[in-house]
Amino acid sequence: MGDMANSSIEFHPKPQQQREAPHAGGFGCTLAELRSLMELRGAEALQKVQEAYGDVSGLCRRLKTSPTEGLADNANDLEKRRQIYGQNFIPPKQPKTFLQLVWEALQDVTLIILEVAAIVSLGLSFYAPPGEESEACGNVSAGAEDEGEAEAGWIEGAAILLSVICVVLVTAFNDWSKEKQFRGLQSRIEQEQKFTVIRNGQLLQVPVAALVVGDIAQVKYGDLLPADGVLIQGNDLKIDESSLTGESDHVRKSADKDPMLLSGTHVMEGSGRMVVTAVGVNSQTGIIFTLLGAGGEEEEKKDKKAKKQDGAVAMEMQPLKSAEGGEMEEREKKKANVPKKEKSVLQGKLTKLAVQIGKAGLVMSAITVIILVLYFVIETFVIEGRVWLAECTPVYVQYFVKFFIIGVTVLVVAVPEGLPLAVTISLAYSVKKMMRDNNLVRHLDACETMGNATAICSDKTGTLTTNRMTVVQSYLGDTHYKEIPAPSALTPKILDLLVHAISINSAYTTKILPPEKEGALRRQVGNKTECALLGFVLDLKQDFQPVREQIPEDKLYKVYTFNSVRKSMSTVIRMPDGGFRLFSKGASEILLKKCTNILNSNGELRNFRPRDRDDMVKKIIEPMACDGLRTICIAYRDFSATQEPDWDNETEVVGDLTCIAVVGIEDPVRPEVPEAIRKCQRAGITVRMVTGDNINTARAIAAKCGIIQPGEDFLCLEGKEFNRRIRNEKGEIEQERLDKVWPKLRVLARSSPTDKHTLVKGIIDSTTGEQRQVVAVTGDGTNDGPALKKADVGFAMGIAGTDVAKEASDIILTDDNFTSIVKAVMWGRNVYDSISKFLQFQLTVNVVAVIVAFTGACITQDSPLKAVQMLWVNLIMDTFASLALATEPPTESLLLRKPYGRDKPLISRTMMKNILGHAVYQLTIIFTLLFVGELFFDIDSGRNAPLHSPPSEHYTIIFNTFVMMQLFNEINARKIHGERNVFHGIFGNPIFCTIVLGTFAIQIVIVQFGGKPFSCSPLSTEQWLWCLFVGVGELVWGQVIATIPTSQLKCLKEAGHGPGKDEMTDEELAEGEEEIDHAERELRRGQILWFRGLNRIQTQVCWGGKKG
């Protein structure tokens, strides 16, 4: 199914066919016609529609669809439309194949050096020097006559190659599974995206990929448009087209002025219905993606085709006639091909650390090789005075290759290539587990940033509360009802007005459906506040459906939709007598100011003066708000047929109202929230509530949640007061004024989206504390987008959130619940700790192995640990340890400490103490074994063995002891804060246990049966027990180290700070260019034309298409 969508051009009917059959498949428009129509804007577009089709309903007729009923939900018809006009799906970039990943893993420099060395070693081992008088070449093959040992020279080279292959496969497999997980994640985000269409007169939610040309789609506030279309009917519709045009002003759309709606743009206000005219690769987004070569390989195919079909294509290759089109496209192409690397704070610190260690390793290995070569040359040619004979050359070269391999081995062990692997595994593992905790992570690094969070700015509705709203109190006809009144208690006139005002003046997509199961609650669909009001109508034993059927949506005369500035919604209908009636609902303190009358108990008008309003606020509204209720005022106004007002003058129209009722809506606090907030506070995270509700309601809810506690010094401000405090006389925001407000601020009420953004930006930019604040923000509305983007971690609501909010966020909360944020903090801290555990283990091995190989080589001309053994140790340390330590599950104790902050070094003093302490133990043991081991075990010494001599028990014991110590030290590494009990929770991590036991088992096999390739000779039980005994000593030694207080060791340096601003190297800067950070991307919006906003759609459309 995906093949059809392979390239935009494949959908084109060939020019000849167009002449014969002008209208494809019996529809009245061809694909090319629709595409050229969608490239026009504003008046031009309107003119084209009128010339070609008469009007929009003419276009609908040609597309065989009804503006009111939509398409018949007929599978054959839908399939036919997909055949002709394409499907709403942009083919994704091909994921890298396993072989490509293997090839990438092979690019690693150290591995290449090893491969070369191994191949040279192999080649030389097959070359036998002529003649047997090798005596002349020194003590090369003494003892090599033992049963064809000489023939076994190839084994070492082969073994090195084999271990390289192992490392490469493991790395590639990890990358592959990471990629697969990430794609799975993307597809899950995409599958969840549905869009509302009308089919057979029914409103249906269909996956975005199932949209076809001719569908009638409902667009509403907060939608991300998934296809191009022409507006049929709109209410106050405003679109943010910046993702396509770079212009940040919102564009007003209406059926009679500018009806063109484009995919990838955001609905910022209002609602409407459109007929879909272009989908997938033929939509504006799709055309751009085709230009950017979203399909990579399809580019070449297209180029070939483009030459054949010059005429048809030339026109479509300029989707937006931008002046700088040419250069931009070139630049875009490059942009699109550079993969966006996400580098987090942690990865920055790690890369820096790895480079430092790598450099040190390089120096050490170079010195090792030089010393070995010099030693050999002086010993052979100077002291023994031999002459370099031609036939001895291969023998000498073999020696040099052996030295070179030892040098490379030192380097391999020194370079911690396991670091990036550990981060990847840890993050991928966390992300996978976080899915179970209802966190859908969109950007990997958000997971780790969350561990450093110091402040959370949370919405109230839906996050701290259940978002299941119900009307519990009301003020109707001069009476304050504390529960739902009986219908008989109300005058019929009031009841009728109230039912009409609620039923008509709310989105028709908002409904209350009967419960799914007997005895369950009624299902609320759409805006929750409106659901509460419709529920109130049902509780009054009335019904809203008949009213809506009597006055369908297209009969509404004018709609002023809800937005964050108005904080109210009004709808105008035409009365039978030719006059008009306006219904309005909104925040009570805002709407009551516009009321001049109120209905009394008989349903008659009575004057409503400012004094009455103050009375009402004190006696009705404030008590309701102090109970944590949200108050909504419902009002109306009549206009006679003769005095039709200017509908665009909104302040004039929505004024002089008559109040029908004030209702108090309850949105109960989620039962688990107070405990979650307590955990946050204990973990050193300040929770602030930012809400559009009034201050009394907000304060009541904040107290219930535990955000504010009695006796604390805190601030609860309204948006206006907040702005007054932080702005100077000129109205500019001053950081020092903000710094006086935010530390104590706990509740910001009646806040606008800009206030939220200002607060977040102010906290992040503040320099008052000892470290920069890391701020997490939750949001669900379109207007929360800027704050979510500005925050270090933006959480969008998976259920209540709009597409725009999800687009701007880093993590999506699939259950909209605050407790999931606490889980995210736990996982974030766990990632950080896992990396630290791994580092502590890895660096101990590094230090020991490098020193052993280096001193061993210098003193005995041979590394006690052979190349293949080193590679095995490397595999344990890097791959297995990163798996074992990076998958430790988080514990509640992580929430008992303060956040680390951005500048905390990766390796703390305690860790440094552990690393050096264990290194001392291991080095002491190994050197003791190396120099006096043969006496202790009563075996032959393995020192100064000639080339190709059989493996000695002596060196096998050293290798085995070394590995045993690492195994037990891995258990020590599980704790990094100096805890005593290193076994705590060890069985909670099956991966860890499996890996430790598995490594142990493989080690037994290697030692007992590894033979020549691993330079091992089998050991007796007694020798094994000694090795184990020394290994267990690590645990005892760990306790000794834990006893030494870190505070006494002032000399210990911390390591692995984040890269400083001035320390960026040229390469990093060049990389930085590619890694345009989201915030900068915002600034360069106009420049990065339409790329950013389309990023998601591409994946969304393709994933949807794959499933569709």
For 672-685, b where at least 16 C-beta lie within 10 A, e where not — what string? Answer: ebeebbebbeebeb
Distances 564 to 239, 587, 720, 783 between C-alpha atoms, Å? 15, 11, 14, 8
Q: Which of 175, 236, 258, 459 is catalytic?
A: 459
Identity (one letter) of the amino acid at 376? F
| CB neighbourhood size of 969 (10 A) | 25
Q: By the 8 A CB rule, do 968 and 1035 touch?
A: yes
What CA–CA distance (Å, rounded) separates 150 from 782? 75
Q: By the 8 A CB rule, do 806 and 778 touch?
A: no
685: tokens are 């995270």
What CA–CA distance (Å, rounded) separates 860 from 101? 40
For 866-902, b where at least 16 C-beta lie within 10 A, e where not — what string? Answer: bbbbbbbbbbbbbbbbbbbbbbbbbeeebbeeebbeb
Considering all CA atoms of the chain, what is the largest pairwise distance in Å, rounded to the nearest integer? 126
The 8 Å CB, 24+ separation contacts for 1046-1051 are 1046/909, 1046/910, 1046/913, 1046/978, 1049/909, 1049/913
DSSP 1083: H
What CA–CA distance (Å, rounded) separates 216 from 490? 41
Is 459 considered catalytic here?
A: yes
First to last CA, the chain: 9
> Number of helices (H) and strands (E), helices first, in the chain?
41, 26
Give the list of residues 6+ apart from residue 407 with CB closer than 8 angstroms, or none. 365, 366, 368, 369, 372
| CB neighbourhood size of 488 (10 A) | 8
Torsion 955-958-959-960 (CA) sign: positive
Identity (one letter) of the amino acid at 667? D
- Based on the number of CB atoms within 10 Å of its own CB, is 863 exposed (0-12), middle (13-18) or buried (19 or more)? buried
**Coil, strand, or helix at residue 1087?**
coil
Distances 624 to 179, 633, 700, 970 between C-alpha atoms, Å? 53, 13, 10, 60
Q: By the 8 A CB rule, do 1020 and 886 touch?
A: no
Concatenated DSSP letters of 661-673: EEEEEE-PBPTTH
Identity (one letter) of the amino acid at 555? K
- Based on the number of CB atoms within 10 Å of its own CB, is 521 exposed (0-12), middle (13-18) or buried (19 or more)? exposed
Q: By the 8 A CB rule, do 779 and 811 touch?
A: no
What CA–CA distance (Å, rounded) separates 724 from 720? 6
Beta bridge partners of 727: 733
| CB neighbourhood size of 817 (10 A) | 24
Q: Which residues are catalytic?
A: 459
